[in-house]
Amino acid sequence: MSLLQRAKKVGRRYQNPVPTSVGGPDAILKALPKLLFNKEETEPKQPLGPFTTDAGVYAQAAGSGLRVTWFGHSCLLVEMDGVRVLIDPVWEQRASPWQWLGPKRFFPPTLPLEALPRLDAVLISHDHYDHLGAATVGRLARLQPEARWVTSLGVGERLRRFGVAAERIAELDWTERAEVAGLRLTAWPARHFSGRGLHDRFTTLWGSFVIEGPERGGGRGSRVYYGADSGFWDGFAEIGERYAASGGFDLVMLEIGASSPYWPDIHLGPDRAAQAFEAMGGHANGAMLMPIHWGLFNLALHGWRQPMERLTELAGERGLRLWSPHPGEPTEVVRGEALWSSWWKRE
């Protein structure tokens, strides 16, 4: 039986595709001593950057057909065949319900929201604060009124509350798709959870997404997998199999940060990200692994550089092709041509 099915609910709560522990009070109690006496450098000692985005680059379409700007953490602008999709935007100072308390950005946004080019779509994978900034959404709704918003089931209500017009929103169940300006966005299961408070966990859906362009020159168009937040599960292999016969992916975007032995089911970390990439057939079909969900917020107990340091080691050991651009730099993707930026080594 396929693991890639529509989401199931028990009462008001969506269920993970496989049994999953998200970590409750027991995990917090176990982690508390480590938190209190943690000697890891979980935040940079000095401010990072400054990193800036040259918005003038967006005036010209990418010659390769695919260009990505990584703004830090899981926020990206994907330009595919001239169509622009902004993913999980958070321009807030903190990934938190409050802007006076909570995980604070390591570096400022690389450009103002007002300087973004015209967007065709905004993709919101789930409603956690490090993936959905309420103030960011409200400002984007005013600045980009023609953009389509694609998200997971139940998140549309939050977007409407933050100022997005209802008719601009498409909510997707797992396995469903939306078409935006010639691009196809398909939602697939992920192993995670949702919620923005103490009492709304699992009441909206979460997911991963494939973004693909139309065929070009008799072959497939550009195609990326955005893993969002997920622990490891066998569904990675099945998603890879779904697309292998038609050429796989150009980029496989997988999270490497915010992992911990105290919540092993809901975040990958670098070792499991490498395992997931290989399970998806990425190494075999010429795809490149793009690390996301790191380098901007302190959301775990590990050192802030540790995920990238470890992934770099794994890439050398296993021959993985990494694609890791400089923050805020619009960068063209050429299939099979790895990219490695060492910006994180400097402070």
Query: With the CA atoms of 274, 280, 286 and 289 taken in that order, what torsion angle do they form, in degrees rounded to the nearest 10?
Result: -40
Number of H helices, E strands in the chain: 7, 17
- Whether 321 is in a domain gets the answer yes
Domain count across the chain = 1
Indicate which CATH number applies to the domain containing 298.
3.60.15.10
Q: What is the pLDDT of residue 27?
A: 62
Burial class (CB in 10 A: 0-12, 13-18, 19+), 199: exposed
- Whether 3 is in a domain gets the answer no
- CA quadruple 100, 106, 108, 111: dihedral positive or negative? negative
- Whether 19 is in a domain gets the answer no
| CB-based contact 70:224 (threshold 8 Å) | no
The tokens for 49 are 């950057």
Q: What is the pLDDT of residue 49?
A: 92
Pairing of strands 83-87, 121-124: parallel
Beta bridge partners of 179: 184
Q: What is the pLDDT of residue 26?
A: 66
**Token pair 């409603």 in the structure block, residue:** 127
Helix (H, G, I), strand (E, B) or coil at 72: strand
What is the helix (H) or strand (E) element at residue 175, kind and residue range? none
The tokens for 181 are 């300006």
Q: What is the pLDDT of residue 28?
A: 63
| Whole-angstrom distance, CA of residue 193 vs CA of residue 129 | 12
Please report the DSSP string for 232-301 in residue order: --THHHHHHHHHHTTT--SEEEEE-SS--TTSTTT--HHHHHHHHHHHTTHHHHT-EEEEES-SS---SS
Q: What is the pLDDT of residue 47?
A: 86
Please report the DSSP string for 190-218 in residue order: -S----SSSS-TTSS---EEEEEPPPBTT
Q: What is the pLDDT of residue 25?
A: 62
- Whether 299 is in a domain gets the answer yes
**Token pair 């398909």 in the structure block, residue:** 186
Domain span at residue 189 reads 46-338
User: From first to last of its 347 residues, what are the pLDDT tens digits of the chain?
Assistant: 899 999 999 999 999 999 999 876 666 666 666 666 678 899 999 889 999 999 999 999 999 999 999 999 999 999 999 999 999 999 999 999 999 999 999 999 999 999 999 999 999 999 999 999 999 999 999 999 999 999 999 999 999 999 999 999 999 999 999 999 999 999 999 999 999 998 999 999 999 999 999 988 778 899 999 999 999 999 999 999 999 999 999 999 999 999 999 899 999 999 999 999 999 998 778 899 999 999 999 999 999 999 999 999 999 999 999 999 999 999 999 988 999 999 999 75
| CB-based contact 295:328 (threshold 8 Å) | no
- Whether 84 is in a domain gets the answer yes
- Whether 284 is in a domain gets the answer yes
- Whether 36 is in a domain gets the answer no
- Whether 40 is in a domain gets the answer no
CB atoms within 10 A of CB 290: 26
